[in-house]
Amino acid sequence: MKAAGVVVEYNPFHNGHYYHLQETKRVTKASCIIAVMSGNFLQRGEPALLSKWSRTKMALSGGADLVIELPYSYATSHAQRFAFGSIFLLQAVGSESFCFGSESGDVTAFQNTHDLLETQSEEFDAFVQEYMSQGLSYPGAAAKAYVSLEKPLHLDLSKPNNILGFEYIRAARILGSKITPFSIKRKNAGYHDVSLGKGNIASATAIREAVFSHDIQKAQNYMPSFTFQSLTEEIEKKGCLMNWERFYPLLRYQLLSSSPSEINLFYEIEEGLEYRMIEAMKLSSDFQSFMKALKTKRYTWTRLQRACLHVLNKITKEDMNQILDLPPAYIRVLGMTETGQQYLRSIKKSLELPLVTTVSKHDFKGLNMEAKTSLVYAQGVLKNSLGAEQEEFKTPPIMV
C-alpha cells in the first residue's frame, strides 16, 4: 500500500482540511493517508479546543486513515522542531510522501528557497542578529532578513504556512529522507483571518472566534457535519470547549506561588521573562489581559503562550532537553480506519520504532510527559473530570 502523510492539528477540523486531505490523495495517488497530529496542547501555545480523541475521530471521518500523535515536546515547540518531529515520524511509519497546505502551493519554490538560503546562510544569520539587536523577535528578524538578502528568495517566508512548509522541506533534507514533498495552495481563508467571510471555507482562527462568541451556528457552514456534532457533544459531555481562560486560574497559581528562580527552570523562560510574568499576573484578571501586559516587541504572542504552557504543565528545561536531544522514540497510534489497520499490518514487522497503542504498557520519557500534560488538560473540564483524567490511560485507538 502506498502511504502519504499530512501534519495536522485540526483545531477544529473544517472544510479547508477536508479539501487538503482530498487533494493529498489526488496528487500523491496514495491509498492510505497518515496524519501526524498534535495532542492536547498545540504549536501556537494553546490548549486544543477538543481533546485529541475527539479530533482523531474527526480526522478519520474526514479522510485520514491512520492518526499518530506528535509528542508534546515537538507539538509545543518552535517551527523547526515541530517540523522535524513530524517528518521524522512520517518517515518512521513508512510514508512515501507528505503534503502540506501553503500560501504558495508550489513545492519547487520551497526547494529552491532552501537551496538559496544554504548559499547565503552566513549573510542571513548576520541580518537576523542585527535585527534582533534592534529588539525584534526572531520570526520578525528572520522575515526582515529574508528581504535583505542579496539574492531574492523564491518564496514569501513572512507567511505562516509557507514558514512551516519550508521547515518540513528542511527537516526532510536534514534527515536525508527520500520522502517526496507536495504542497496544496490554501483556498479562500488566510491563516490568521478572524472573519468567516464568503464561501464555505474559513480559517480555524475564525471558526474558534465564532465558537467562543457563542455563535457556533454561524460557523456551521464552514465545517463538516461531524465536526459540528463533535463540538456540541463535547460541550454536552464535558460542559465546555477548551481555551486558555479555562486554565488561567491554574497558571495564575503556578506563577504567584513560585519564586523567580523556580519559574526560570521551566522551558522557554529566558532573559528575565519570569519577573515580567509575575508582575503582569498581579495586574491581570484574565488570560487575555495578562498576555497584553506581557507582550513585548521582542517576543511574539505565540512564543509567550508556549512559555505559559510549559509553566502550566511544569515542564522544565531539563525535562525537554532530555527528549529533544534525540528524535521521537516511538509511534503512538491514536486511531485508524480499516485501511489504516491493513496498512499497519503490512508494515508492522519492518518498523524500527515501537508501536504504542496502550500507554500503560510502555515507559518512554515522551509518553510520561504526555500522561502528565494530559492530566493537566483534564483539569479544564467543568464536569465529569474524572472521566477526562482517565482518557489518556483508558482510551484505545479510535476505530472508524
161 labelled as ligand-binding? yes
For the chain, the distance separating the N- and C-terminal CA atoms, rounded to the nearest angstrom, is 19
Q: How far is CA 93 from CA 68, 69, 304, 355, 363, in A?
A: 9, 12, 33, 9, 20
9 labelled as ligand-binding? yes
Handedness of CA 337, 340, 345, 351 (dihedral sign): negative
Q: How far apart are CA 374 and CA 73, in angstroms?
A: 13
Q: How far apart are CA 380 and CA 266, in angstroms?
A: 21
Handedness of CA 43, 46, 50, 51 (dihedral sign): positive
Q: Tell me, what DSSP letter sits at residue 360?
A: G
Q: How far is CA 100 from CA 81, 167, 272, in A?
A: 16, 11, 37
330 labelled as ligand-binding? no
Query: Do 37 and 67 meet the contact criterion of CB atoms below 8 Å apart?
Result: yes
The DSSP bridge partners found for residue 180 are 97
368 labelled as ligand-binding? no
310 labelled as ligand-binding? no
114 labelled as ligand-binding? no
18 labelled as ligand-binding? yes
Handedness of CA 222, 227, 228, 231 (dihedral sign): negative
Query: Do 42 and 50 meet the contact criterion of CB atoms below 8 Å apart?
Result: no
Q: Which helix (H) or strand (E) holds 349?
A: none
Residue tagged 523556580 (cell numbers): 262
11 labelled as ligand-binding? yes
123 labelled as ligand-binding? no
Q: Which helix (H) or strand (E) holds 104?
A: none
| Residue 238, all three cell numbers | 464535558
12 labelled as ligand-binding? yes
Task: For the chain, give the number of residues.
Answer: 400
At 183, phi and psi to the nearest 5? -135, 140
Q: How far apart are CA 378 and CA 394, in angstroms?
A: 14
Query: Do 307 and 268 meet the contact criterion of CB atoms below 8 Å apart?
Result: yes
| Beta carbons within 8 Å of 387's beta carbon, 6+ residues apart | none
Cis before 328 (ω within 30): no
Helix (H, G, I), strand (E, B) or coil at 24: helix
321 labelled as ligand-binding? no
140 labelled as ligand-binding? no
248 labelled as ligand-binding? no
20 labelled as ligand-binding? yes
Q: Which residues contribute to the annotated binding site?
A: 7-20, 101, 161, 186
Q: Which residues contribute to the annotated binding site for ATP?
A: 7-20, 101, 161, 186
